[in-house]
Amino acid sequence: MRKHSTVLKIVTLLMCIVFFAPSCLKDKLTKTYTILTPVYETKEKVLSNIKSNVPVNVSTPGKIYLYGKYIFLNEINKGVHIIDNANPSKPVNVAFINIPGNLDIAVKGNILYADFYTDLLSIDISNPLNAKMSKLLPDVFPQRKYENWIDLDTTRIIVNWIKKDTTIDISQNSGNYGWLNCNRCLFASANSFADGSKSSSSVPGIAGSMARFAIVNDYLYAVNNTSLETIKISNAPDLSLVQSDNVGWTIETIFPFKEKLFIGSATGMYIYDINNPAAPERNGIFEHLRSCDPVIADDNYAFVTLRSGNTCQGFSNQLDIVDINNLNAPSLVKSYNLTNPHGLSKDGNILFICDGKDGLKVYDASNVNNLKLLKHLTGMETYDVIAWNKKLILVSKTGLSQYDYSDINNIHLVSTISVNR
Amino acid sequence: MKRVLLVLFVGLQFISAQGQNKFQFHSQNYIGLLEGSKGSAFGFTTINGIQHNTWFVGLGTGLDWYFTRTVPLFLSFNKDFKKDKNTWFVSLDAGTNFEWTKGLSQGEFYNSKFTPGFFGGSGIGYKAYFRQKKEAFLFGIGYSFKRLKEKREITTFCLTPPCPNIVEYYDSKLNRLSIRMGLQF
């Protein structure tokens, strides 16, 4: 009896512990992240400094534009590097144009077109070492009004961000760690540009496939998240917005080919006719699963890379080849699985695809139903590429590299401008 | 890891065979509940080691589903209050734990890298032998702690790569009440 009593007491004690002890045990969970504080300058001061300055190291390379002997390389949200590429084996970083908020560039004649947060600039680069700002067209890119959740005003420009690590207690959060609930966490966005065919007076350069600017003759076409902006540049350096056409949601890239514009969005590829260049008209659309999709095209086919990711959502990582002989009803020819494709470029039958962390893949595309992998360059995270004149200009996480592909079986590195963070 | 466990197991068997009277190999296998401010979770533990008089020392591992699924690896010490009889005992565990989160918290849009953290605990238990006195029923209650550090890289909104990543560091120190029962062979 006494023994049973003891057991009962022990069981009672244990029950009390089981019920009450957990309330005494508190988990300690912390989250450390970086917050950003903007550094402002007056707009007047920033505009006065949009000119050629001393070259700076490449830190976060964005989009590329090839024009004559120069490569223009966007430094994300900072400006444009001017690289003298007269000797591709020894490219020289000769100047840097400070353009806060810059993501996209295009060049025609002696004018560099660049976005400047919500505005579009024309910059005289007749002497690239002495570039000068010419004109400003306001509010072309209204979606850039917000940067890292900060509402940009019209008098001040964000020229830099101060980073500071912060640790917070998240013990009370429900579930696992919770999600992105930090205002102004390290967060930035980017963009780019493209080019086109022959102009009456001067020839535009060559853009990468991630471009959001395209120049065809006397017009600059720029896509923002939802619309296609048509800007007349025949009276350079003057800029004149002639049409803003709503295209759809999540517009990403633009690629000009002959009298067509190929616009990549997260849900499909739009084809616009520019026989009337001042008023592009939609021809057809090729819809696909939700993914990011840079696009390039030739006479018969469009090459669309689909990739997954945070912005892109979706789960597709592939190359879609689309028959565009009937522009009003483009149709899928074949899909090829890839790892995480980004930009692409084509020279004749040779197709170059930046496959993210899986490097650069080179295909023989003479038969679109049976692409043959010719070369696979690994060990770099690639983003965008321009193949021109047997020279490949490649932007990767490690920098701007140039390859010689005159012998496709012996593609070799010519030079690299390394990222220096 | 498999090699280490194999060597340890063979070693323990050897010691056990060499000194049947002094050292005995035992395997303690528990299932139980882990209770804390993040709720309740299931846990499984197996500890294999040597009993010498009233002392037991062994190497333990298992699965711990509390908050983040982990695999602990630890040394365990037991002290029985009586020898070869039904008895109370105290236990002390110390070691590390590794994440095993694939399919649980790994996201499509971010990458996680975990750093193993300290794992430990202490408690009191009761050992009730079956008739043959070879096997025993075990019951235990005590405190359990595990720590994990995670570096999470999240791809940001960006239409043109390279997209900057948000990097977040998480540090979780988890305090739980452990209630477990099992069998000793």
- pLDDT band at A186, cuts 50/70/90? very low
Mean pLDDT confidence for B142-166: 74
**CA–CA gap between residue A281 and residue B19 (Å, rounded):** 91
- Distance (Å, whole) CA A306 – CA A288: 9
User: Is the pLDDT confidence value at A179 over 60?
Assistant: no
CA A114 to chain centre: 14
Inter-residue contact B100 to B70 (CB < 8 Å): yes
- The answer to whether A72 touches A106, Cβ cutoff 8 Å, is no
Mean pLDDT across the stretch B153-182? 77
Average of pLDDT values for A116-134?
A: 92
DSSP one-letter code for A143 = G
Nearest-CB residue to A311 (from B110, B143, B159): B159
Q: How far apart are CA B26 and CA B134, in angstroms?
A: 9
Query: What number of other Cβ atoms are within 10 A of residue A322's Cβ?
Result: 24
Chain B residues close to A192, C-beta within 8 Å: 159-160
Specify whether the CB–CB gap between A272 and A263 falls below 8 A: yes
Residue A36 has pLDDT above 90, yes or no: no
B42: Cα separation from own chain's centroid:
12
Helix (H) or strand (E) holding A72, with range, is strand A70-75
Please say if the pLDDT value at position A190 is more than 50: no
Write out pLDDT tens, residues B114-135: 899 999 999 999 999 887 777 8
- HSE-up of residue B137 (Cα within 13 Å, Cβ side): 4
Query: Which DSSP state fits A6?
Result: H
Q: How many CB atoms lie within 10 A of CB A243?
A: 15
- Chain B partners within 8 Å of A188 (Cβ): 156, 158, 164
Whether residue A39 lies within 8 A of chain B, CB to CB, comes out as no
Q: Does residue A374 surpass a pLDDT of 90?
A: yes
Mean pLDDT over A294-314 rounds to 75
Is A25's Cβ below 8 Å from some Cβ in B? Answer: yes
> Which residues in chain A are contacts of B171 at CB distance < 8 A?
29-30, 32
Instruction: Specify the pLDDT at position A196.
Output: 32
A27 at B interface, C-beta within 8 A: yes
Q: What is the pLDDT of residue A202?
A: 55
Using the beta-carbon criterion (under 8 Å), do A25 and B36 form an inter-chain contact?
Answer: yes
Window A:75-134, CB contacts with B under 8 Å: 76, 103-104
* Partner-chain contact B160 A192, CB within 8 Å: yes
ipTM over 0.90: no
Per-residue pLDDT band for A192 (boundaries 50, 70, 90) equals very low
Which two structure tokens, joined as six digits, stand for B126? 């009761």
Interchain CB distance below 8 Å, B167 and A62: no
A381–B contact, CB cutoff 8 A: yes
Instruction: Quote the pLDDT of residue A193.
Output: 26
- Tens digit of each residue's pLDDT (9 = 90 or more) over A258-295: 889 999 887 788 999 999 999 999 988 887 655 566 78
Q: What pLDDT sits at residue A251? A: 84
Mean pLDDT of chain B: 83
Q: What's the mean pLDDT in B93-119?
A: 77
pLDDT at position A41, please? 87
A399-404 sheet: strands from edge to edge: A382-388, A391-396, A399-404, A412-418
Residue carrying structure tokens 């490690």: A398
Q: What is the pLDDT of residue A104?
A: 93
Residue A198's pLDDT is: 33
How many beta carbons lie within 10 A of that of residue A179, not counting itself?
11
Whether A34 sits inside 8 A of B154 (CB atoms) is no
pLDDT at A292: 62
Q: What is the DSSP string of B19-64?
A: TTTTEEEEEEEEEEEEEETTEEEEEEEEEEEEEETTEEEEEEEEEE
Quote the strand ranges of A176-280, DSSP E.
Answer: 206-207, 213-216, 219-223, 227-232, 240-246, 251-257, 260-265, 268-273
Instruction: Report chain A residues whose CB lies below 8 A from the CB of B157.
Output: 187, 189, 310-311
Check residue A110 and give its pLDDT: 87
Q: What residues of chain B lie within 8 A of the CB of A14, using their CB? A: 141
